[in-house]
């Protein structure tokens, strides 16, 4: 090294600086402070050094003395540390999860994701914020327990915790944490992941699953209820038919007249029960027609008000209310059930508010309640009764569910309301709180047609002449039906199946004026039998009969040219007039 110029040792890029410092050297007053630069070793390696120097005279010459220390390893360590810190900062900045460090229950570090999560413009806004200000009040106790676990040396399992943003909005996060040392003091490192959207999606999925389960349950029970009602109506047909025949043979002075009338009245009550079952069952609509709901609601309200003087009724009807396509009798039943429910909720009397209005349901409402958007007529029925809790409200439309004491209800009233409205392509909502009363809101699709007046009830017996083919798989119905037809002046042919009916009609088509056809029969049902009858005679006149109401299957048969429909059990007057109306059309 002796004799080599100093600048030859200095890295070429650093020589200019070293040369400038050497020029400024003066004896006695030059002392170069520590300076970092690079040397080139004899074997060509570049090393980092830290140098200082002084100037002095030796034998009349200006001399420079430098002391250089190899700091390559230190510089490498510093560079590694800087790179590590940069990677750490980049990692914290890029992490989608919120990372925070807490000391003494205050935030001392937060990454950008934490700022975004809590609604801060910059992580610095969060520094110093108290834990209890960030954690939702409902989770304060849980939070304290988790902090204690960390202080005791434990590691926190992932838990769902609600937090509060700076704007007051609540968010749900998966949170975990563990103890660390931060700037020389004990702290807690916590990591939060926002799962608010996921929780909402899970809740929506659960809601839809529950809704689907409820729909399937209601449909299954509805099918069962419809089957029971059908069979029960067939039994009532036998009782009603024989009772009507017996009443035709006696006058009011007969000793059995009152007893027979009582049987007739009991049959009527039983029919109302099966109507509720059918109203709940799928396809429970009877004959729909364009109806003015204002007129219907007013009539039903007046009838109810006459018998319930302890209830004050407030009515509010929208002018020019849109017409609806409904079965008049079924909507009367809906209103009666809702009125009776309100009356039973107000044992000491109270107020009942009834309101009709036109509304338009848009896509947003459609998405939430799963109904078709469009024009609807809304009926609101609000009482000031005892109300109900959420558990009861969730089950209020289930068949046979009732909160009433024994003998005060069957549990079918509101179930039939639900079924009837659903089968009219409408929907019903209920809002209630314990002690705050109940409001039922019915929505029915509006019609663009003009409302028609309600037909008068069948009030007279019409006799006639001709031949009627009665088709039914129930021997009891065949027996009583044949006698009813004969008593009305007609000749009767009978068939116990669809196949037998076809054979009889082929042989007697010129003599048969009308076919009374049961819809539900084994092997060959009413629909198939009707089609085969049409193949034999395209002008065949058929009166469809069923223990079911006019459901989709019956409607399809009617649409193919069936002359009329009558539901079992039917009365002599109704039966006679239905027959007369069809035969008169010839």
Q: What is the pLDDT of residues 313-332, one digit of tens each?
A: 999 999 999 999 988 878 98
The rounded distance, in Å, linking the Cα atoms of 490 and 193 is 82
pLDDT attached to residue 509: 92
pLDDT attached to residue 279: 63
**Mean pLDDT computed over 546-562:** 79
**Mean pLDDT computed over 249-258:** 89
**Mean pLDDT taken over the chain:** 85
pLDDT attached to residue 312: 94
Q: How many helices (H) and strands (E) does the chain have?
A: 18, 20
Instruction: Write out the residue limits of the CATH 3.30.565.10 domain(s) in the chain.
Output: 289-447
In the predicted model, is pLDDT for residue 408 greater than 70?
no
CATH class of 95-194: alpha beta
Q: What is the pLDDT of residues 192-214, one digit of tens each?
A: 999 999 998 888 888 888 777 87
Structure tokens at 449: 């047609």
In the predicted model, is pLDDT for residue 246 greater than 70?
yes
Q: What is the pLDDT of residues 511-552, one digit of tens each?
A: 999 999 999 899 999 999 999 999 999 999 999 998 876 666
Q: What is the pLDDT of residues 267-281, one digit of tens each?
A: 877 876 777 676 666
User: Residue 41 — very low, low, confident or very high, per pLDDT cuts 50/70/90?
Assistant: confident
In the predicted model, is pLDDT for residue 454 greater than 60?
no
User: Residue 368 — very low, low, confident or very high, per pLDDT cuts 50/70/90?
Assistant: very low
**Mean pLDDT computed over 232-252:** 89
pLDDT attached to residue 249: 87
In the predicted model, is pLDDT for residue 98 greater than 60?
yes
What is 362-410 written as a DSSP string? -HHHHHHHT---EEEEEEEEEE-S----HHHHHHTTSTT---SPTTS--
In the predicted model, is pLDDT for residue 29 greater than 70?
no
CATH topology of domain 6-76: Beta-Lactamase (3.30.450)
User: Residue 506 — very low, low, confident or very high, per pLDDT cuts 50/70/90?
Assistant: very high
In the predicted model, is pLDDT for residue 459 greater than 70?
no
Instruction: Write out the residue limits of the CATH 3.40.50.2300 domain(s) in the chain.
Output: 467-584
In the predicted model, is pLDDT for residue 346 greater than 60?
yes
pLDDT attached to residue 28: 56
The alpha carbon of 395 is separated from its chain's Cα centroid by a whole number of angstroms, namely 14
Instruction: Write out the residue limits of the CATH 3.30.450.20 domain(s) in the chain.
Output: 6-76, 95-194
Answer whether 351's CB lies under 8 Å from 298's CB. Answer: no
In the predicted model, is pLDDT for residue 407 greater than 50?
no
Residue of 579 and 371 predicted with greater confidence: 579
Q: What is the pLDDT of residues 175-190, one digit of tens each?
A: 988 888 888 888 988 9
Which residue pairs, CB below 8 angstroms and at least 24 apart, start in 4-11?
A: 6/64, 6/66, 9/39, 9/40, 10/37, 10/38, 10/39, 10/40, 11/37, 11/38, 11/39, 11/40, 11/46
**Mean pLDDT computed over 46-66:** 80
User: Residue 67 — very low, low, confident or very high, per pLDDT cuts 50/70/90?
Assistant: confident
Q: Which residues contact 141 (CB under 8 A, 6 or more apart)?
A: none
pLDDT attached to residue 220: 78
pLDDT attached to residue 109: 92
Strands 61-70 and 542-546: unpaired
Residue of 451 and 472 predicted with greater confidence: 472
pLDDT attached to residue 406: 43
The position carrying tokens 């009558």 is 566
In the predicted model, is pLDDT for residue 45 greater than 60?
yes
**Mean pLDDT computed over 167-182:** 90
In the predicted model, is pLDDT for residue 282 greater than 60?
no
The CATH number that domain 467-584 falls under is 3.40.50.2300
In the predicted model, is pLDDT for residue 457 greater than 60?
no
DSSP 8-state code for residue 160: E
Answer whether 480's CB lies under 8 Å from 523's CB. Answer: no
Q: What is the pLDDT of residues 419-441, one digit of tens each?
A: 889 888 899 999 988 888 999 99
Answer whether 75's CB lies under 8 Å from 49's CB. Answer: no
Domain covering 289-447: architecture: 2-Layer Sandwich (3.30)
The rounded distance, in Å, linking the Cα atoms of 582 and 244 is 22
pLDDT attached to residue 261: 86
- % of residues, the chain, pLDDT over 70: 90
């Amino acid at each position: 090294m002796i004799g080599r110029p100093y600048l030859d040792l200095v890295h070429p890029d650093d020589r200019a600086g070293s040369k400038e410092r050497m020029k400024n050297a003066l004896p006695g007053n030059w002392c170069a402070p520590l300076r970092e630069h690079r040397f080139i070793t004899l074997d060509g390696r570049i090393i980092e050094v830290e140098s200082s120097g002084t100037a002095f005279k030796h034998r009349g010459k200006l001399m420079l003395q430098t002391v250089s220390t190899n700091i390559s390893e230190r510089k490498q360590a510093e560079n590694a540390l800087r790179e590590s810190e940069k990677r750490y900062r980049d990692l914290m900045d890029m992490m989608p999860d919120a990372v925070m460090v807490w000391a003494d229950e205050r935030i001392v570090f937060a990454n950008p994701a934490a700022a975004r999560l809590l609604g801060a413009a910059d992580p610095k806004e969060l520094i110093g914020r108290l834990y209890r200000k960030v954690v939702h009040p409902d989770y304060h106790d849980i939070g304290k327990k988790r902090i204690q676990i960390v202080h005791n040396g434990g590691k926190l399992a992932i838990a769902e915790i609600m937090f509060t943003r700076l704007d007051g909005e609540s968010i749900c996060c998966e949170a975990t944490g563990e103890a660390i040392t931060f700037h020389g003091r004990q702290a807690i490192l916590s990591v939060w992941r926002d799962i608010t959207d996921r929780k909402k999606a899970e809740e929506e999925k659960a809601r839809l699953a529950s809704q689907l389960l409820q729909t399937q349950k209601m449909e299954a029970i509805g099918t069962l209820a419809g089957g029971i009602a059908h069979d029960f109506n067939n039994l009532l047909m036998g009782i009603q038919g024989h009772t009507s025949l017996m009443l035709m043979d006696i006058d009011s002075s007969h000793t059995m007249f009152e007893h027979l009338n009582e049987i007739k009245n009991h049959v009527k009550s039983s029919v109302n029960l099966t109507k509720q079952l059918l109203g709940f069952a799928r396809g429970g609509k009877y004959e729909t027609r364009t109806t003015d709901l204002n007129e219907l609601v007013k009539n039903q309200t007046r009838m109810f008000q006459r018998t319930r003087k302890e209830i004050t009724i407030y009515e509010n009807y929208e002018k020019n209310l849109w017409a609806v396509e409904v079965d008049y009798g079924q909507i009367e039943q809906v209103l009666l059930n809702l009125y009776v429910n309100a009356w039973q909720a107000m044992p000491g009397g109270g107020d009942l508010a009834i309101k009709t209005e036109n509304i338009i349901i848009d896509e947003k409402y459609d998405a939430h309640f799963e109904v078709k958007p469009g024009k609807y007529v809304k009926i609101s029925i609000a009482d000031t009764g005892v109300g109900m809790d959420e558990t009861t409200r969730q089950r209020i439309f289930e068949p046979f569910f009732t909160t009433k004491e024994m003998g005060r209800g069957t549990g079918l009233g509101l179930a039939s309301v639900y079924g009837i409205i659903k089968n009219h392509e409408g929907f019903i909502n209920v809002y209630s709180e314990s002690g705050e009363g109940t409001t039922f809101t019915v929505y029915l699709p509006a019609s663009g047609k003009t409302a028609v007046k309600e037909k008068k009830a069948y009030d007279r017996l019409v006799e006639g002449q001709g031949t009627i083919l009665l088709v039914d798989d129930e021997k009891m119905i065949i027996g009583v039906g044949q006698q009813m037809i004969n008593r009305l002046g007609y000749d009767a042919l009978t068939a116990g199946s669809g196949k037998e009916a076809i054979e009889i009609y082929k042989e007697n088509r010129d003599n048969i004026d009308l076919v009374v056809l049961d819809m539900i029969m084994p092997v060959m049902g009413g629909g198939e039998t009707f089609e085969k009858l049409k193949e034999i005679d395209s002008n065949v006149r058929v009166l469809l009969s069923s223990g079911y109401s006019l459901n989709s299957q019956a409607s399809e048969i009617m649409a193919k040219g069936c002359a009329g429909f009558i539901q079992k059990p039917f009365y002599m007057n109704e039966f006679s007039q239905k027959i007369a109306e069809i035969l008169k059309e010839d």
